[in-house]
Structure 1
Amino acid sequence: MTNLAYETDLPESDHDAAALRALRPIPRISIQAFCETEGVAGPITRASEDRRMAKAHLKVHMGGIATALDLYHTAPTPNLIILESRQEPRELIASLRQLADVCDPSTKVVVVGHYNDVWLYRELIRSGISEYVVAPISMADMLAVISGIFVDPGAAPLGRSIAFIGAKGGVGSSTMAHNLGWAISTLFASETVVADMDLAFGTANIDFDQDPAQGIAEAVFAPERIDEVYLDRLLAQCADKLSLLAAPSTLERTYDFEPDAFQQIIDTAQRSAPMLVLDLPHTWNGWTKTTLMQADEVVITASPELANLRNTKNLVDTLRTLRPNDAAPKLILNQAGMPKRPEISPSDFAEPLDLTPLAVIPFDPQFFGTASNNGRMLGEMDAKHATVQILNDIAHILTGRSEIRPRKRAGLADLLGRLKSAKR
């Protein structure tokens, strides 16, 4: 039986973060909440903004059961009603019986009450209420309740998706995505799919020395055909545990898509493999924004110079707004130490972003270029190379097997002034 007060030994923030990581996306349902206090309305409103609720439609009304009764006398009921009530147990039961007269039989009801009463809980469940939660509640509590009602617990777990994007073109985001996908599949013997989403100029087919006849374009242009069997036919096998959904890398057509054009492909791929690496082009449109918002993890690759810092800050700020309940994007500083190029130190680059870089990867055109020209991963070229060891460390962090070490903060008054000037 559900614990009425959702008690935990973890601090609330740690408990919420752990609960959110375990949740699957909520299906396309309609939800209406009727709240009597801001303490309950606030977490429910925040839940409506979470990326896992992107397909659902949730509206919050101030006012409890009486407001719901007034509305549903003339309006159809949604898939789920969330009701907050400060009534004592027997009054609450009586009020809910009135609501039952105006509710569609298929509508689910969750009650948020202020009495931690076992008798009340049993009476509510016996009368058909889906769940009873005792206030105060957190945003994660509310998402967990909705997920518990509408997400099939017997369904296969979804794989994690990691979206890679560069702060500028040419900073090596695709190289990071491909090599880290390979590292994850090799180090942990984990089935991994790399999806090259730069349909016009993608380089995954070159980096993996593959020339598949079909790939991601066939899927996105025929969404009605997408399922696990069809997707499997489009995948090119690159290694024992690594598959590639290749881009056509041609200019025979334009690639303009609706914001959710790739979501069915991503959802299907996540049901097929425990790890999905999304190699996004350096562009900003509806579908790249949606893909970044929906990914489990976002990695930004940048080189240590001013335009990269400006673009990275814009990306980080936007993603923090789009993904308010998720961890901040991860940052990789690549091509550090390029001869004769004035550079920003890693600490100065990181401070305005309030991020600890996953790693600073030195400029090494010989090693990277030789691997690319031979269609091989860096780890295949030299497993003991220092850069390969760095990538292995990043793979551990992205899969939750390690953590980022804390850093010391540095002063940055001059650079911040330059950043503001660059925005004007």
Structure 2
Amino acid sequence: MPVLVEPDPTTVATLLAAMPAGAHGVNAPDRMLAWLDQHPDEYVVVLGPSLSVDAALAACDELRIARPTVSVVLVADALDTSLLTRAMKAGARDVVQSDDVAAIGTAIRQAHQLFQALRGPGGAVQLGRVITVFSPKGGVGKTTMAVNLALALTEGGARKVCLVDLDLAFGDVAITMQLFPTHSIEQAVGSEESLDMALLDGLLTRHQDSLMVLAAPPHPDVRERVTPALVLRILRTLREGFDFVVVDTSPSFDDQVLTALDETDECVIVATLDVPTLKNVKVALETLEMLDIASGHRHLLLNRADDAVGIGADKVESILGMPVSAQVATSIDIAAATNAGTPIVVGDPRHPSSEAIRALAAALTGAPVAPPTPITGAEPAASALGDDKRSGSIFRRKKGFAS
């Protein structure tokens, strides 16, 4: 998918609306280079008008040598002969004016045609991975961990990540990130047979740190209308457009959560160091084992992990029969960051909690995760396959179990 390099969030929203569904925005050329390292099949880079001319031309020149199959489209507020000449010498494929939306779209289509011609027939789509964050008990900080994990996975914009709020009755992802979505999963209701990336793209809200969010419905009565088949279609479509799809779930094994768990590649289970939570987590792990969900791909995250409560990580591992993958200590800084709408991994990347969450992200990706650049605020933006009629009983979901 096209990648846009533009530091101004308002301009990002405007230009992404003119680009194909799934287009991705980063705020600096170095993040664009990191993105290209992660996505060797990228075909076009769009350089926005807020970049300085020298920075844009330097990026053009570097890509001309390092990645000759990637077309560069330079967007400028005003065109003149000098700019056109310098841009073409630097290797830009096209130069268009920022207010000419049609020209931007045409330049991207032509870049895609060129890429297809250079690549030849074939070329399989690489699917992203689904990471489900689950806890059988509310109040353990699951949403806070899901938000911070998703932000850590973006690698400062080098990876494309979508966070899905599947707590359909009382989802808090949007408010945790101080986003004000104009659309949510509610607008996808009834689209089980027709949902595609173009439609889904219009339901996503953009966070400033290159993270897209599919928000939960604003009212709990919508929950029953979000069918398991729709959840399945959404997740499978998002796999095609994102490197990682992080799913924040409700604290229950309802049909929608079970569908997400069936689709998951990695399951992060959040627990706190209290006996009722650990009892519920143990039962949940037994259920996941019975259903053969994410076997060998479950990761235990201890939140508010303080030895002073009398239960340590060693005892937790003994009780649950699985190793602890990450521990996040109790910290007022996490609550303060959440209340400020700037999650801890972004607001304070060097905080011990941020480092613990990035370490978990590294374990999930198999690669080191660098700290993101601190940001302030967020911007909304306009940025799904197969059918599976599932039974409502969890005991009929075990893989290979007769229907």
* Counterpart position of 1:305: 274
Which one of the candidate residues 124, 140, 144 is aligned to 1:155?
A: 124
Q: Give the Å deviation of 1:161.
A: 0.4
Is 1:356 aligned to 2:323, yes or no? Answer: yes
1:8-157 to 2 correspondences below 5 Å: 154-157=123-126
Is 1:199 aligned to 2:168, yes or no? Answer: yes
Q: Measure, in 2, the Cα distance between the counterparts of 1:240 and 1:171.
A: 25
Q: Secondary structure at the match of 2:143?
A: helix
* Counterpart position of 1:391: 357
- What percentage of residue pairs aligned between the two structures are identical? 30
Q: Which has the higher contact order (CA 8 A, sep 6+)?
A: 2
Q: Secondary structure at the match of 2:134?
A: strand
Q: Measure, in 2, the Cα distance between the counterparts of 1:362 and 1:192.
A: 26
Q: Give the Å deviation of 1:223.
A: 2.5
The code of the aligned residue for 1:378 comes to I
The list of structure 1 runs, each at least 4 consecutive aligned residues, that deviate by more than 4 angstroms after superposition, is none
Q: Secondary structure at the match of 1:277?
A: strand
1:167-178 to 2 correspondences below 5 Å: 167-178=136-147
Rate the CA distance shift 1:375–1:325 in 2: closer, same or farther, 3 A: closer
The unaligned stretches of length 5 or more in structure 1 are 1-152, 403-424
Q: Give the Å deviation of 1:211.
A: 0.8
* Counterpart position of 1:378: 344
Q: Give the Å deviation of 1:325.
A: 7.5
The code of the aligned residue for 1:377 comes to P
Is 1:250 aligned to 2:250, yes or no? Answer: no
The unaligned stretches of length 5 or more in structure 2 are 1-121, 369-403
Q: Measure, in 2, the Cα distance between the counterparts of 1:328 and 1:353.
A: 15
Q: Secondary structure at the match of 1:205?
A: helix
Q: Measure, in 2, the Cα distance between the counterparts of 1:199 and 1:345.
A: 33
Q: Secondary structure at the match of 1:168?
A: coil
Is 1:335 aligned to 2:335, yes or no? Answer: no
* Counterpart position of 2:333: 367
The code of the aligned residue for 1:350 comes to E
* Deviations, residues 235-269 of structure 1 (Å, cap 9, x unaligned): 11103431011112323544355443300000011
> Which one has a bigger Cα radius of gyration?
1
For the Cα contact (< 8 Å) 1:259–1:286, is it kept in 2? Answer: yes
For the Cα contact (< 8 Å) 1:174–1:204, is it kept in 2? Answer: yes
Q: Measure, in 2, the Cα distance between the counterparts of 1:272 and 1:328.
A: 22
* Counterpart position of 1:326: 295
For the Cα contact (< 8 Å) 1:319–1:329, is it kept in 2? Answer: no
Q: Give the Å deviation of 1:170.
A: 0.7
Rate the CA distance shift 1:259–1:280 in 2: closer, same or farther, 3 A: same
Q: Secondary structure at the match of 2:300?
A: strand
Is 1:209 aligned to 2:175, yes or no? Answer: no
Q: Give the Å deviation of 1:328.
A: 4.3
For the Cα contact (< 8 Å) 1:300–1:330, is it kept in 2? Answer: yes
Q: Give the Å deviation of 1:399.
A: 0.9
* Counterpart position of 2:253: 284
Q: Measure, in 1, the Cα distance between the counterparts of 2:149 and 2:294.
A: 25
CA RMSD of aligned residues (A): 2.4
For the Cα contact (< 8 Å) 1:220–1:265, is it kept in 2? Answer: no
After TM superposition, the score normalised by the length of structure 1 is 0.55
Rate the CA distance shift 1:300–1:325 in 2: closer, same or farther, 3 A: closer
Q: Secondary structure at the match of 1:301?
A: strand
Equivalent residue pairs, number: 249
Rate the CA distance shift 1:254–1:297 in 2: closer, same or farther, 3 A: closer
* Deviations, residues 248-291 of structure 1 (Å, cap 9, x unaligned): 23235443554433000000111111110001110122221222
For the Cα contact (< 8 Å) 2:184–2:203, is it kept in 1? Answer: yes
* Deviations, residues 45-84 of structure 1 (Å, cap 9, x unaligned): xxxxxxxxxxxxxxxxxxxxxxxxxxxxxxxxxxxxxxxx
